[in-house]
Amino acid sequence: MLKKDGKFVLGEGREELLEWIDKKGTISEAAEEMNMSYRHAWGKVKKIEEVVGKEVVKSQRGGDKNRGSTLTPTGKKLLSDYQELKKEHKGDVYRNPSPTVDGIVKQNDKLLLIKRKNSPFKGDYALPGGFVEYNEPVEKAVIREVEEETGLKTKIKRLIGVYSAPDRDPRGHMISTVFSLDITGGSPEGGSDAEKARYFDIEHLPELAFDHEDIIDDFLELLDEDWR
Residue 139: its pLDDT value, please? 98
User: 98-227: which CATH number, 2.40.110.10, 3.30.43.10, 3.40.470.10, 3.90.79.10?
Assistant: 3.90.79.10
Query: 3-state SS string over the chain?
Result: CEEECCEEEECHHHHHHHHHHHHHCCHHHHHHHCCCCHHHHHHHHHHHHHHHCCCCEEECCCCCCCCCEEECHHHHHHHHHHHHHHHHCHHHCCCCCEEEEEEEEEECCEEEEEEECCCCCCCCEECCEEECCCCCCHHHHHHHHHHHHHCCEEEEEEEEEEECCCCCCCCCCEEEEEEEEEEEECCCCCCCCEEEEEEEEHHHCCCECCCHHHHHHHHHHHHHHHHC
Residue 228: its pLDDT value, please? 47
| Domain positions in the chain | 2-92, 98-227
Q: How far apart are CA 156 and CA 146, in angstroms?
A: 11
**Domain 2-92, second-level architecture:** Orthogonal Bundle (1.10)
Mean pLDDT per block of 10 residues along the chain (228 residues) reads: 69 87 91 82 89 88 64 92 77 73 96 92 95 91 95 97 94 94 93 87 95 96 76
